[in-house]
Chain A
């Protein structure tokens, strides 16, 4: 690529590592001129990359959204977006990083990572032409942040609730807070979440004459250490034997390594030497291949605006209008889909049902983005389970979702219609969330921000082992014993509002109801189905009893 400099955006940190490595293999002369930048890399290394980029010392940087905002550098010549940008605003913003002269056009290359993704290209063009960009919806009623804020005040000079209450109330986030909820937050930081009986020993913020403050140094230190951390699984620090700190990798990846194993991180091959306390010690390796770590970050879904543009482009093309080069390129894929099943359309909602060795697959294609699909899948799973206890493995991408069962699913047309009903929607969604992992995952973040889960003091992980409880364990405890806990409730509200985007789910259901629903029974796997079926990250849904489920399954035997 004859270009002065380039930024290559990827959607996940793992992809960032993979692309960096592959680019280096393909163009070895880039060594020394190319760098990597993502949030698990140490600040020191990231600062170096940002400085080098600013000074023009680098030809290429492979990065994630870590270089989206807040970093100042001279415009680069070329921007490459690998995989869907997931949103129009983000795409435009990244394109804006390019262009040497004021007034010159910004240039951005889009590299789809699977065939259908190619349709996003004309969709983005259409959106930009129509100036159709996402709104930003702010979070409200974030009790975890409120608790953290009060703790921060308590750790310094302390505070008086009467003085802080008006300040909190004046914010957009907490404008709707009532006194009961405010008292709940105060009680949470002083006594735990309910009025406790004599034998309880909760201790955090102490009250002296109406003044709230933390006096316990350990608790104060723990709070200072945990605010501002990026939420994720237990992170292990990766450092060279000589001590230089490289970044963080999640514990599950490190636990798979034996001394001598080679993995790539921050753009270089590293040999794992040993694990000491919470640090993984490594040395440089000369091997060319190695494992690539991955991080369980939140995946961004397709924004509803981009999803709308995508559906529009697809329908227009299938109706014979808007023959973009991308859609024409995909014609063989559309032909295959039509041959084995059907193509969705403005008036046609497609459902596919077929059996493989894995079980019975129920596929649907709303083209609404993965989070709405997650919600819709859970909702429909719940509604199906009303006729019989059933267990599903649920997978989704931005175009559709799958419900996979180990027994046949009843496809009576009357039942199918009822799956998309908007009656009792809110209560059905709430009860369906209970049957899947969504809330549990969201709770991890809430638990970390509010200080319920703590990663450990640096250099002293052993002493804090007695305080390690996974967010998972805490979630189960709240669910079984204290479902009125406001932080637990916040989790559900956030899932409803942000992940499921209940309003958007409702609109999608209404739209589907206005379409004709067609069920196809393909003999062979279809091009629309395949990318969803191979999705590794799956949601589990079950309304069967634990005993029934156990009896259907087999123990994983090993070597002891």
Chain B
């Protein structure tokens, strides 16, 4: 699904990422790698196959777009060191022609050196790349000529239909003031948002992206 935001052409992918065509940059938010392992270490059994899906999707996106830059908008890892770490290290090395950036989030709690050892370029609290301002948390007081893009919220909207039908669907949110990325991770929950008229909402179904009708 192609959209134009802040004058830039973006491609939305059903794996919950955005590809910025002009700059060949891939945006991914809230990966929460290691969340399943984190639960397992605490004695709560979560099947590891959940994690496999994350890797498979990541690999597919990199293989499909061959981006020059990949921006992780925070919460790359769910918590402290675990074995996902080593896997990511090997993964990143498999793409030597791509630069990987991490804009720090609340779950990214290790010292900067650890991330840098993996080969990640760290940005805190935001990354400026005109016309976009990338952060993990939503930002306040953003100057008018910048368009902020954040993660953290794991946005979803509620839908209602006849016969009391209701659904909660994750989405891409492009508001007039800012954008919010859906959460990439396969084992993450969602937070419901109530968008305003004038906001662009793109609903993520299993294998397609459906724009929400405006003016309803």
Which positions in A face B, CB cutoff 8 Å? 188, 192-194, 196-197, 199-204, 216, 218-219, 222, 358-360, 391-393, 404-406, 451-454, 466-467, 469-470, 473-474, 477-478, 480-482, 485, 538, 540, 545-547, 549-560
Interface 1/0s, chain B 151-164, versus A by CB < 8 A? 00000011111111
Tell me, in angstroms, the Cα distance from A482 to B205 when the chains sit together: 23
- Give chain B residues whose Cβ lies under 8 Å from the Cβ of A199: 37, 83, 86-87
Q: Which of B42-50, B64-72, B97-105 contacts A (4 or more CB under 8 A)?
A: B42-50
B167 contacts A553, C-beta separation under 8 Å: yes
A406 contacts B161, C-beta separation under 8 Å: yes
- Give chain B residues whose Cβ lies under 8 Å from the Cβ of A196: 48
B160 contacts A553, C-beta separation under 8 Å: yes
- Give chain B residues whose Cβ lies under 8 Å from the Cβ of A359: 162-163
Q: Is B113 an interface residue (CB 8 A)?
A: no
- Give chain A residues whose Cβ lies under 8 Å from the Cβ of B197: 557
- What are 13 A-B interface contacts by the 8 Å CB criterion? A203-B40, A216-B43, A222-B43, A391-B163, A393-B164, A451-B43, A466-B79, A467-B44, A469-B44, A480-B49, A550-B210, A554-B160, A558-B195
Tell me, in angstroms, the Cα distance from A391 to B166 when the chains sit together: 11
Instruction: With both chains docked as a complex, state the minimum distance between the C-beta of B123 and any C-beta of chain A, in angstroms.
Output: 23
Tell me, in angstroms, the Cα distance from A453 to B203 when the chains sit together: 30
- Identify the closest chain B residue to A191 (Cβ): B45
Q: Is B165 an interface residue (CB 8 A)?
A: yes
Q: A392-B163, A553-B159 are in contact. List 5 more A-B contacts (CB 8 A).
A: A193-B47, A201-B37, A203-B40, A203-B43, A466-B79
Tell me, in angstroms, the Cα distance from A485 to B48 when the chains sit together: 13
- Give chain B residues whose Cβ lies under 8 Å from the Cβ of A452: 44-45
- Identify the closest chain B residue to A193 (Cβ): B45
In this complex, the interface size class of chain B, counting residues with CB under 8 Å from chain A, is: 35 or more
Tell me, in angstroms, the Cα distance from A384 to B207 when the chains sit together: 26
B:62-120 near A, CB below 8 Å? 78-79, 82-83, 86-87, 107
- Identify the closest chain A residue to B44 (Cβ): A452
B:119-168 near A, CB below 8 Å? 157-167
B207 contacts A547, C-beta separation under 8 Å: yes
Tell me, in angstroms, the Cα distance from A454 to B195 when the chains sit together: 32
- Give chain A residues whose Cβ lies under 8 Å from the Cβ of B48: 196-197, 200
Contact of B194 among A218, A451, A556 (CB under 8 A): A556
- Identify the closest chain A residue to B34 (Cβ): A201
Tell me, in angstroms, the Cα distance from A410 to B205 when the chains sit together: 28
Instruction: With both chains docked as a complex, state the minimum distance between the C-beta of A470 and any C-beta of chain B, in angstroms.
Output: 7
A555 contacts B216, C-beta separation under 8 Å: yes
B45 contacts A200, C-beta separation under 8 Å: no
Tell me, in angstroms, the Cα distance from A393 to B169 when the chains sit together: 18
Q: 10 closest Cβ contacts across the A-B interface?
A: A558-B194, A359-B163, A204-B43, A553-B161, A481-B49, A553-B159, A560-B196, A406-B162, A199-B83, A202-B40
Tell me, in angstroms, the Cα distance from A482 to B50 when the chains sit together: 10
Tell me, in angstroms, the Cα distance from A478 to B49 when the chains sit together: 10
Which positions in B face A, CB cutoff 8 Å? 37-50, 78-79, 82-83, 86-87, 107, 157-167, 169, 175, 187, 189, 194-197, 199, 201, 203, 205-208, 210, 212-213, 216
- Give chain B residues whose Cβ lies under 8 Å from the Cβ of A482: 47, 49
Tell me, in angstroms, the Cα distance from A199 to B205 when the chains sit together: 32
Contact of A546 among B45, B49, B107, B205 (CB under 8 A): B205
A560 contacts B194, C-beta separation under 8 Å: yes
Number of A-B contacts (CB under 8 A): 158
Tell me, in angstroms, the Cα distance from A474 to B49 when the chains sit together: 13
Tell me, in angstroms, the Cα distance from A480 to B206 when the chains sit together: 14
- Give chain A residues whose Cβ lies under 8 Å from the Cβ of B157: 555-556
Given A359-B162, A406-B165, A545-B206: A557 and B47 interface contact (C-beta under 8 Å): no
B159 contacts A481, C-beta separation under 8 Å: no
- Identify the closest chain B residue to A204 (Cβ): B43
Best-buried of B39, B43, B107, B212 by chain A (most CB within 10 Å) = B43
- Identify the closest chain A residue to B87 (Cβ): A199
Instruction: With both chains docked as a complex, state the minimum distance between the C-beta of A476 and any C-beta of chain B, in angstroms.
Output: 9
- Identify the closest chain A residue to B45 (Cβ): A192
- Identify the closest chain B residue to A223 (Cβ): B43
B41 contacts A201, C-beta separation under 8 Å: yes
- Give chain A residues whose Cβ lies under 8 Å from the Cβ of B38: 466-467
- Identify the closest chain B residue to A472 (Cβ): B189
Tell me, in angstroms, the Cα distance from A358 to B196 when the chains sit together: 26
Instruction: With both chains docked as a complex, state the minimum distance between the C-beta of B35 and any C-beta of chain A, in angstroms.
Output: 8
B46 contacts A393, C-beta separation under 8 Å: no
- Give chain A residues whose Cβ lies under 8 Å from the Cβ of B196: 557-560
Tell me, in angstroms, the Cα distance from A379 to B72 when the chains sit together: 45
Tell me, in angstroms, the Cα distance from A200 to B84 when the chains sit together: 9
Instruction: With both chains docked as a complex, state the minimum distance between the C-beta of A443 and any C-beta of chain B, in angstroms.
Output: 14
- Give chain A residues whose Cβ lies under 8 Å from the Cβ of B37: 199-201
- Give chain B residues whose Cβ lies under 8 Å from the Cβ of A485: 47
- Identify the closest chain B residue to A147 (Cβ): B45
Contact of B175 among A470, A480, A560 (CB under 8 A): A560
- Give chain A residues whose Cβ lies under 8 Å from the Cβ of B78: 466
- Give chain A residues whose Cβ lies under 8 Å from the Cβ of B46: 192, 469, 474, 477
- Give chain B residues whose Cβ lies under 8 Å from the Cβ of A202: 40-41, 43, 45
Tell me, in angstroms, the Cα distance from A352 to B83 when the chains sit together: 59
Tell me, in angstroms, the Cα distance from A380 to B191 when the chains sit together: 34
- Give chain B residues whose Cβ lies under 8 Å from the Cβ of A193: 45, 47
Tell me, in angstroms, the Cα distance from A541 to B76 when the chains sit together: 35
Given A199-B87, A553-B165, A556-B158: A473 and B43 interface contact (C-beta under 8 Å): no
Given A470-B189, A482-B49, A556-B158: A200 and B165 interface contact (C-beta under 8 Å): no
B205 contacts A201, C-beta separation under 8 Å: no
Instruction: With both chains docked as a complex, state the minimum distance between the C-beta of A554 and any C-beta of chain B, in angstroms.
Output: 5
- Give chain B residues whose Cβ lies under 8 Å from the Cβ of A545: 205-206
A477 contacts B42, C-beta separation under 8 Å: no
A188 contacts B45, C-beta separation under 8 Å: yes
A554 contacts B161, C-beta separation under 8 Å: yes
B195 contacts A555, C-beta separation under 8 Å: yes
A555 contacts B44, C-beta separation under 8 Å: no
- Identify the closest chain B residue to A358 (Cβ): B163
- Give chain B residues whose Cβ lies under 8 Å from the Cβ of A477: 46-47, 50, 187
Given A467-B44, A481-B50, A547-B206: A406 and B195 interface contact (C-beta under 8 Å): no
A551 contacts B210, C-beta separation under 8 Å: yes
Tell me, in angstroms, the Cα distance from A560 to B37 when the chains sit together: 35
- Give chain A residues whose Cβ lies under 8 Å from the Cβ of B45: 188, 192-193, 202, 452
Tell me, in angstroms, the Cα distance from A201 to B175 when the chains sit together: 41
Instruction: With both chains docked as a complex, state the minimum distance between the C-beta of A467 and any C-beta of chain B, in angstroms.
Output: 6
- Give chain A residues whose Cβ lies under 8 Å from the Cβ of B207: 547
